[in-house]
Amino acid sequence: MHTPGHPWVKNYIKPIDGLGLPASAKITLLVITASLPALGGSLIAGRLSSLSTLLSVALIYLLLKPVQAQLFELSPEQRHWHVSMPIQLFMLAWALVLAPVGEPEQIGRTVGALAIVVATALWPIYMSRKAYERKRRTIPFDQTYGLAAAIVVIQQIFIVGNAI
């Protein structure tokens, strides 16, 4: 997996590259590992999980920006079975764990927030076949992700404001 960008991102992605998995599975691993701070925060930090959620929002941007071009190279099967389904199952399992541990409000605060930014970061895999075949980005990734991240940041500020 070719990873242009910041050296920290390259060093973070190196161990995932060494696993010998297809590029689509590596993208899924990047999403899941970038979501781990929010997952941990949602389980143990209560309302202050907003800080770990914001860390995950930043990690998702940093780790998925270099692989944006690769999202257009995936086959429909790879998009569905190696990226979309595992990430959706991860989010669903995360939400299902939160209710029994007494943190059901975290489903909207963290899982929902991360689902929005992950879907924004991975938008090419959710495009229609015709749009996917055109493979043209009309709005740059930075602007699209920035808007989704801004919405999540505002949500998290309100959550922290109510916690204090």
118-135 pLDDT, tens per residue? Answer: 999 998 888 766 666 666
Q: Tokens 């808007």 correspond to what residue?
A: 147
Task: Output the average pLDDT for the chain.
Answer: 83
Helices (H), the chain: 7-17, 23-44, 49-64, 68-71, 76-77, 85-98, 106, 112-121, 129-134, 141-163
Give the largest Cα separation in the chain, rounded.
49
Poorest-confidence range of 58-62, 85-89, 128-132, 158-162? 128-132
